[in-house]
Amino acid sequence: MDADHDFSDEELLRRASVYLGTTDRAKIVHEALKALCAREAGRRLARLGGTMPGLQAPPRRHFE
């Protein structure tokens, strides 16, 4: 982490509490874990981008 962004755990919790509008630590941790998983899934998907050039998109479903 950059020195400019080296926050204590308590400061990070306080900031997250303000952003989320709650002081419930379980909710804050839950949202943090969801954000981490989404970020890492995006990175993984980006790393896979273009690695299967012959792949064809599956047919679209048509609902009537």
Which pLDDT value is given to residue 48? 81
This prediction has a pTM of 0.64
Q: How many C-beta atoms lie closer than 10 Å to residue 28's C-beta?
A: 19
pLDDT tops 60 at residue 62 = yes
What are 37's two structure tokens? 């998983």
Indicate if the pLDDT at residue 1 is higher than 50. Answer: no
Angle, to 10 degrees, between the axis of helix 9-20 and the axis of helix 25-48? 90
Residue 36: the pLDDT is 97
Q: What is the pLDDT of residues 2-60, one digit of tens each?
A: 556 788 999 999 999 999 999 999 999 999 999 999 999 999 988 887 677 788 888 88
